[in-house]
Structures are given as C-alpha cells and as structure tokens.
Amino acid sequence: MAVYKRICKFLDWLYLASGVIAALFLVAILCLIVLQMVARWTGASGYMVSSAPNFAGYCMAAASFFAFAHTLNRAAHIRVSIVLNLMGRYRPWLEAWCLAIAGATVTYLAWFAIKATHWSHKFHDISQGQDAWPIWIPQMSMAIGSVLLAVCVWDNLVRLIVLKKHAIVAETLGQH
C-alpha cells in the first residue's frame, strides 16, 4: 500500500506539473499578442511575425490539452453533481461507471492522437500557414495531454476502487 500511495503522490505531482505547463502556454499566447501589438503601435510592422496567429493557436491547443488532467482533479470539468448527490449510497457505483466510460473514451482519444502525430511525422506534414511548421510538433501536446488525461481518469477509477475515494476534489474560495 505504501508503494501505491507513492505512485498516487507522483501522479498528483504530474497532473499539477501539467497544469503549470498549460499556464506557461497561456503566458506564451499573451507574449505573442503583446509583441504583435507593440510592433503595430510602434510602426515596426515589418518586424511582425506573420505566423504569430498560427503559433498562438498551437499554444492554445497545448494549453487546453495540458490542462485537462489538472482540471479533472480540481473538479473543474462539467460533471453532473446533482445526479451524483441524489444517488446516496449508490454514488460510488455511478462514479465508477462514469469513470470507466470516460476512461475508455479518453484512452481512444489518446490512441488516435498518438497515431495522428506519428503519421504527421512520418509523412513530414507541415502547417498550412506561412510558417510551414512541422505539424507533428504542435500535435505532440495533444498526444501528451490526452495520455495524461487518460492516466488521470483511470487513476481516479483505481483510487475509487482501492481507496474508496477518488482524487477529484473541488477547491472552494478561501481554502488554501
């Protein structure tokens, strides 16, 4: 049981790190937007990066996918809590069923994301914009984020079965 708790602690750290990476991608979007605005205001439009909107889009996708696992454990995803609260003593069964369905669905998404990234790399697929960026690079964030979300969902199902409590906890205001 001590080894399992260490694994859980490591996974919790991994989900938090994933959330931090998502935040860094949001900061990158901010920097791209501010640089473009400053270049436009100062008349240095020749220095504007024409593919900045493409890179902002890549950063947005990365921020979204890296945030999924962290967001799940913070109970920030849309869940039908009203129905879960009405289930009473059957709530763990319904949560286990929901986590199993979600786990299967997200595992399929992760498999597809990895497959798409692999084929984009193999065929040397490039973006449609002027940047001609290898598309597998931004697709990696989708693949990694999907795998992290799948691990997070299955982890919560195993915790629910083994520990009788999952790690999905809503933070309330004023709580540290």
Sorted by sequence, the CB contacts under 8 Å of residue 134 that are 6+ apart come out as 120, 121, 124, 125, 126, 127
Instruction: Name the phi and psi angles at 48, rounded to 5.
Output: -70, 140
In a domain, 171, yes or no: no
Mean pLDDT within 101-130:
93
User: For the chain, how many structural domains are there in total?
Assistant: 1
Contact 169, 156 (CB under 8 A): no
- The alpha carbon dihedral of 9, 66, 78, 101 has a sign of negative
Contact 100, 157 (CB under 8 A): yes
- How high is the mean pLDDT of the chain? 87
In a domain, 175, yes or no: no
Model confidence, pTM = 0.86
Query: Whose CA is closest to 28, among 146, 40, 20, 133?
Result: 20
Contact 72, 149 (CB under 8 A): yes
In a domain, 170, yes or no: no
d(CA 70, CA 160): 18
Percent of the chain with pLDDT over 90: 54
In a domain, 146, yes or no: yes
Q: Is the pLDDT score of 125 beyond 60? A: yes
Domain assignment of residue 8, given as a range:
2-162
What is the predicted pLDDT for the residue at 176?
46
Sorted by sequence, the CB contacts under 8 Å of residue 104 that are 6+ apart come out as none
In a domain, 63, yes or no: yes
d(CA 148, CA 98): 18
Half-sphere exposure of 46 (CA within 13 A, CB side): 0
Q: Is the pLDDT score of 80 beyond 80? A: no
Percent of the chain with pLDDT over 70: 90
